[in-house]
Amino acid sequence: MTSPLWTSDEIAAATAGTASADFAVFGVAFDSREVGAGDLFLALKGESTDGHRFLDQAFAQGAAGAVVSDATAYPNVAVADTTAALNALGAASRARTTAKIIGVTGSVGKTGTKEALFAALDRVDPGCAHRSVKSYNNHTGVPLSLARMPREARYGVLEMGMNHAGELAELTRLVRPHVAIVTAIAPAHLGFFDSVEDIADAKGEIFQGLQPGGTAIVPFDSPYRERLIAAAEPYATRIVTFGLGEGADVRAMEMMQTPAGGTFVLSRIGDKELSFTMSQPGDHWVSNGMAILAAVDAVGGDLELAGLALAELGGLAGRGARLSVPVGNGTALVIDESYNANPSSMRATLAVLAREPGRRVAVLGEMRELGAHADALHAELADPIVEAGVSRAILVGEAMAPLAAALEGRLNFVHVADAAAAKAELESTLAPGDAVLIKGSNGVRLATIVAALAERQTCSI
């Protein structure tokens, strides 16, 4: 049987708490809906809810114990502050592990890169890699992901996000990575910053937590490359650049699109060469692949096995999954990019759509957290949409008005208020052979369109 993740005595020692009984847990959750048999439930108190209200539900679902700050009859470790206890448990997990830890951040591509890197390391050492699930990358998600790391893990891949200066500095000092990756810099969360340079500086905070002898992995093709290198230099023993441009330390030297939509890549990693197929379509994924190979190399992993994992990587829901959906007497391709959007990722996925045969349809939701730059950044998508050969665009959300004005007279489009109206528009015009890109900020809820289409899906491709 797998050894317990935590015992009650270990939890009490880590959190300076008091155990009411002896128990052992095999998982950790702070969302009662995610609690499974044998899990530890952390009853966090927030501004709008209190996890103690869900103790009955958590134990009904099989929780073995809880971390609480209010009295309860259930097996528990009592602490003064459950949120502080979560951080302490994450720190204790990091302190006890011998795993190589890789931290991943960036304006775009961090979750996909984290998932692909996990797949690569799991292929290198099956069953011994751990990663943060979903997009658990904030002040509660990161310590939770650390607390969930098995004591036997040999690799840990932790995603870290931010929307204010100073957040990553705090998170990276908890994670203390051996390798830190910045995937790319883009005007995401620009509403919280004065400039993209400030975003680059905030992302560069990830290097502050690097362990002695650590490696910083920096995007070579970014206009903020030198800024990121300067941020890494005080903390990193080794700085590795990755990308497509000549001069990158880890570089895609040759690329050729495959019939299945991926890319065959001849890459150079230092003095080594590797040929592999990147299953995910688009040059941005090739670039992500170079960052992944750089990280695998930095922790001493097998590059050839990592290449096999990248060739077998399936589509990620909301981040490039491809669905074949029945329409009339044929099918349509749906590219699911519904999880999030910013100007950089919009351009990258429109370039992917441009490679698809048939009529191209783009369902594009507004991009959020762009602040005073929002109107201009939305309007600037007009040229990439036209250049992608989009035949029909469905623009979703009030913030898309400047883009609608910029597209007037250039192609067939409709501007609608919400996802429900967009779904109706798409279903009324969808035809066999169409290639449909669905992308927008998560709050626009375009994933509901994907879910409706997936109900009639025949297979994933």
Q: d(Cα 337, Cα 344) in Å, to the nearest integer? A: 13
Strands 65-68, 321-327: parallel, antiparallel or unpaired by DSSP? Answer: unpaired
Class of domain 6-84: alpha beta
229-254 pLDDT tens trace: 999 999 999 999 999 999 999 999 99
Mean pLDDT of 4-31: 97
Q: Are 411 and 362 in contact (CB under 8 A)?
A: no
E strands of 383-456, at which residues? 390-396, 412-416, 435-439
Mean pLDDT of 438-458: 88
pLDDT at residue 341 is higher than 80: yes
Say which CATH topology domain 321-460 has: Protein-Tyrosine Phosphatase; Chain A (3.90.190)
Q: So what's the pLDDT on residue 200? A: 96
Q: What is the mean pLDDT of the chain?
A: 94
Confidence of residue 457 (pLDDT cuts 50, 70, 90): low
Q: So what's the pLDDT on residue 1? A: 45
Q: So what's the pLDDT on residue 461? A: 42
Mean pLDDT of 423-439: 96
Q: d(Cα 106, Cα 416) in Å, to the nearest integer? A: 31
Is 97-312 assigned to CATH 3.40.50.300?
no
- C-alpha 443, offset from chain centre: 16
Q: Where are the alpha helices (DSSP H) in 129-269?
A: 141-147, 167-175, 196-203, 225-232
Structure token pair of residue 446? 């375009």
Q: Are 288 and 108 in contact (CB under 8 A)?
A: no
Q: What residue spans define the domains of the chain?
A: 6-84, 97-312, 321-460
pLDDT at residue 93 is higher than 50: yes
Taking CA atoms, 442 is separated from 272, 366, 419, in Å, by 40, 9, 11
Mean pLDDT of 190-208: 93
Angle at 234 between CA 231 and CA 237, to 5 degrees: 110
Give the bridge partners for 274, in sequence order: 267
pLDDT at residue 316 is higher than 90: no
Mean pLDDT of 279-299: 95
pLDDT at residue 405 is higher than 90: yes
Confidence of residue 455 (pLDDT cuts 50, 70, 90): confident
pLDDT at residue 263 is higher than 90: yes
* pTM of the predicted structure, to 2 decimals: 0.82
Q: d(Cα 411, Cα 163) in Å, to the nearest integer? A: 35
C-alpha torsion 396→348→133→217, nearest 10: -150
- C-alpha 16, offset from chain centre: 33
Mean pLDDT of 367-392: 95
